[in-house]
């Protein structure tokens, strides 16, 4: 798939078929995620790939916006390890870029995704720490539900000229 087709047709998909997501697809998504830029090239990201129905169900039950996790064949939680960042605080941008790369790679494989936020909402981050038994210093940023879908992918037009400023505001 052309990169611009992936960019322009990526949508938040919340309905998934029961068809499994292949290990190869997951590997491609994770490779793409790990190619994201990061401050000082620290790459502080870690990924928890969840296929277990009980674990996905725990997220669906406890996260107010992740109900689809119960039915998506794969959930990937993107985490930042604060001990692996050099300039303090940049793990958020680094892991956000990794999350976006992961989602674009999924679209390139004709898979649907939806990003459910964890950090900085403390009760959502806490539930992820609890469900996944994350070590101290590892902060869950995003939960990405992944799967095949029957929902259509279409191009959205969100271009707004009034949001562009040249040279000064």
Which pTM was predicted?
A: 0.96
Measured from the Cβ of residue 106, the count of other Cβ atoms closer than 10 Å reads: 27
pLDDT tens readout for residues 110-136: 999 999 999 999 999 999 999 999 999
Location of structure tokens 């669906």: 60
Would residue 92 count as lying in a domain? Answer: yes
* Length in residues, the chain: 169
Inside any domain, residue 132: yes
Contacts of 58 (CB under 8 A, 6+ apart): 131
Residue 81 bridge partners (DSSP): 138
Q: Does a structural domain hold residue 63?
A: yes
At 25-68, the pLDDT tens digits run 999 999 999 999 999 999 999 999 999 999 999 999 999 999 99
Asked whether residue 105 is assigned to any structural domain, the reply reads: yes
For the chain, give the percent of residues with pLDDT over 70. Answer: 100
Helices of type H across the chain = 3-9, 23-33, 53-62, 91-108, 122-132
Mean per-residue pLDDT, 81-87: 94
Does a structural domain hold residue 47?
A: yes
Q: Residue 116 forms beta bridges with which residues?
A: 143
pLDDT at position 156 over 90: no
Domains of the chain: total: 1
Residue 40 sits in which domain range? 23-150
With helix as H, strand as E and coil as C, how does 112-169 read? EEEEEEECECHHHHHHHHHHHCCCCCEEEEEEEEEECCCCCCCCCCCCCHHHCCCCCC
Answer yes or no: are the C-beta atoms of 97 and 36 closer than 8 Å.
Answer: yes
- CATH number of the domain that 55 lies in? 3.40.109.10
In a domain? residue 168: no
Establish if 98 belongs to a structural domain. yes
Q: Is residue 5 part of a domain?
A: no
Q: Output the average pLDDT for the chain.
A: 97
CA nearest neighbour of 146 among 43, 73, 97: 73
């Amino acid at each position: 798939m052309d990169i611009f087709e992936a960019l322009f047709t990526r949508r938040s998909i919340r309905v998934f078929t029961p068809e499994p997501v292949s290990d190869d697809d997951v590997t491609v998504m994770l490779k793409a995620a790990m190619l994201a830029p990061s401050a000082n090239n620290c790459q502080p990201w870690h990924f928890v790939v969840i296929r277990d129905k009980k674990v996905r169900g725990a997220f669906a039950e406890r996260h107010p916006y992740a109900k689809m996790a119960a039915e998506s064949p794969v959930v990937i939680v993107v985490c930042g390890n604060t001990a692996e960042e050099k300039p303090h605080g940049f793990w958020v941008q680094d892991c956000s870029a990794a999350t976006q790369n992961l989602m674009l790679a999924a679209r390139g494989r004709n898979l649907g995704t939806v990003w459910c936020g964890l950090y900085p909402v403390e009760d959502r981050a806490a539930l992820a720490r609890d469900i996944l038994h994350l070590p101290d210093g590892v902060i869950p940023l995003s939960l990405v539900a992944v799967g095949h879908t029957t929902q259509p992918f279409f191009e959205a037009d969100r271009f707004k000229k009034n949001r562009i400023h040249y040279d000064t505001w």
